[in-house]
Structure 1
């Protein structure tokens, strides 16, 4: 048994501040986290805990200690196409993304990108993520093997795509099912990995493949379903043309058994109240991806509408349409999107969405996303003096709310001083 303690200023959410009342946000200006074999054994005020753990090694951490960030939607094969100029969604896929994804048939290439991708997540304070791979089985194997080596909590799956894509990026219903089942069998229960059945979106799967994806989700009760929904008006029109009797885009997924409490839909920009209410009743979740929605000109997600219908939401960087691996930067853009929608994103709510909210979106809210006993010890240290401007702004802040908001708006990878995974240092900014 390995026990280690960490001392510093601690901030976590234990519930959604929108609904959880005063106990939703916990702040210990002089706090202590005790980690036993990668899991938090105790957390609280240092003065209350120090005597209980006399003799346990203690590491002093400067800055603000918060839970590790959870990225609820990101494409690791698109890492090298981040900041690719021009086009909206469908043309952008054809011009930039599909050519890049063909290369992931090569395991060596996939290994190299997966290693860089996961290290970049850690550098930005992201310790858990729901990740798109490609249609190639090897792309998932490369990501999972790299995650095992880093002990990260990564959920991913082979993309299912039997139409609407170029040569080298299409599978078949039978082949997609066989590869998915093989991956589930090989990686289920290993390390901190999870699997997601992953149809890319309606336009790239036949009816037969969508039905088979629904059958896999029903068969394997421990997998997620991860896809895209209502991102771009051209995409929505094409889906409506293919399914003219469907009430809306969400209804198409529902027809194939793909809307449930393990479903994570990225974007959901153009959903009406009826669709949001349907998602809320089903227990489905949304990945809010502000930087990609702005970059591709897709639209402004309505977080308040999702909240009104009780739909779970977390933050997604959506690299490579997303423009940064930084959840802090993504939260800053989320604030602006909410402002354009006539709402205001409180910094404590933003922290929740980036941590416990994201964990709940992935069905992992009892394991990650909070600094509390029994949770996996994924946390990071934010430096409020990481840049001259942030240091000046933070020094003038009079409240924790103001300090946290400054980090939300001005922070990025530079503000992440250290990242810990299961209680072990995984990234140090100045190392």
Structure 2
């Protein structure tokens, strides 16, 4: 990361922030055509019109012209060990896991390989404007250490946990109920709350954990209630049928977690496409987070997440790439896919809602909305600067825009890493 002597910085350009949730309040977005973000010691101290903002003496000025400054993107569900096998052809979920995922994840007991892929993942994520990632690791403690070590070196806010599996996985990827508890606890005690890092208790999903392992991880979560817990739920109909066969006395898929202490407000449930009425009601009741993974849902053929309906019903929803089941490291492409899937459900998500999902919405499900995801005083200065004219196709459409949303939408739909003009992490530029 680039060394800089100045502790105070002023970023100038268009700015986008949120005073609330645009799904509930269309007036929540705040756009300045010539705005400023003041950063001191890694924290945003003020935002507003550039001509009225109080400028600290000696601050270094970074003028981005007409480019758009917003909070860095937050990827709320991904698998960094699958970085090298992204875009593997043509499988349904269970086949895809067996043919591609498990063989690759078996390599992560090699600390050097885990470190190589962790560095590659963060290079790719930052190049696409993602400043916070929530990842599954593998069963190997080395995979957790590699991810956190690399994130810490870069000053990133990052979260992960050892992925626990004690059945229905290859021999070299299975642990036990006791080792899952012991390894997770040791890693949690080493990494959780260290610098900008957070540990996430991580059963992969019910089919790969015995009731005994789910019970052990539920007990660990009860002992460390400030941690998040992440898992998968109701991604594909075949998976749901498999869960029913494995847990014949459970009321539904969610009950396989609920019965073992793995339902709570700090839970993150990835996919959640085919939830029953009872599951939706219980998740809403406890305030758990749902994480929408649209490029993965289309790539693996899982189904259509109902973003607008679930938000209208009061659910907390974040957005994620789900790499490598997801087919892109880009949260811009992920927003575009969320728009396309919502269209198939009969609702056109507004550009402000898409940008909110990738920033404030994801921060909310991570219980980090007081730290990241918005341009506001007191927030950590993780920022992305978007070039709204990054390609000829985007530029010619943006030139006809009548407002900021017509200018932003072409970048959401057609943008990629070329649209990422600058990235700031903890108040320092790492891509500029």
TM-score norm. by structure 1 comes to 0.97
CA contact (8 A) 1:14 1:356 kept: no
Alpha-carbon distance in 1 for matches of 2:86, 2:334? 14
TM-score norm. by structure 2 comes to 0.97
2:171 is paired with a residue of what secondary structure?
Answer: coil
User: How far apart are residue 254 of structure 1 and its match?
Assistant: 0.8
Q: 1:382 aligns with which of 382, 386, 389?
A: 386
CA contact (8 A) 2:23 2:312 kept: no
User: How far apart are residue 49 of structure 1 and its match?
Assistant: 1.0
1:139 is paired with a residue of what secondary structure?
Answer: helix
User: How far apart are residue 385 of structure 1 and its match?
Assistant: 1.2
RMSD: 1.2
Matched with 1:360 is 364
Alpha-carbon distance in 2 for matches of 1:352, 1:209? 36
Alignment of 1:95-110 (within 5 A): 95-110=99-114
1:216 is paired with a residue of what secondary structure?
Answer: helix
1:168 is paired with a residue of what secondary structure?
Answer: helix
User: How far apart are residue 367 of structure 1 and its match?
Assistant: 0.5
Query: Residue deviations 1:311-334, cap 9 Å, x none?
Result: 111111001110000000011011
Aligned length, in residue pairs: 426
User: How far apart are residue 54 of structure 1 and its match?
Assistant: 4.7
CA contact (8 A) 2:180 2:217 kept: no
1:250 aligns with 2:264: no
Alignment of 1:408-427 (within 5 A): 408-427=412-431
Q: 1:274 aligns with which of 278, 299, 315?
A: 278
Alpha-carbon distance in 2 for matches of 1:201, 1:81? 20
Alpha-carbon distance in 2 for matches of 1:18, 1:319? 26
Matched with 1:199 is 203
CA contact (8 A) 1:15 1:352 kept: no
1:7 aligns with 2:9: no
Alpha-carbon distance in 2 for matches of 1:55, 1:188? 36
Q: 303-312 vs 199-208, which deviates more? A: 303-312
Q: 1:49 aligns with which of 48, 53, 59?
A: 53
User: How far apart are residue 20 of structure 1 and its match?
Assistant: 3.5
User: How far apart are residue 194 of structure 1 and its match?
Assistant: 0.4
Matched with 1:59 is 62
User: How far apart are residue 411 of structure 1 and its match?
Assistant: 1.1
CA contact (8 A) 2:8 2:56 kept: no
Query: Residue deviations 1:286-344, cap 9 Å, x none?
Result: 11001011011111111123113311111110011100000000110110100001111
Structure 1 unaligned residues grouped into runs of 5+: none
User: How far apart are residue 55 of structure 1 and its match?
Assistant: 4.0
Query: Residue deviations 1:156-195, cap 9 Å, x none?
Result: 0001111110021001111111111111111122110001
1:158 aligns with 2:169: no
Structure 2 unaligned residues grouped into runs of 5+: 1-5
Alignment of 1:108-257 (within 5 A): 108-257=112-261
User: How far apart are residue 395 of structure 1 and its match?
Assistant: 0.8
Alpha-carbon distance in 2 for matches of 1:256, 1:105? 28
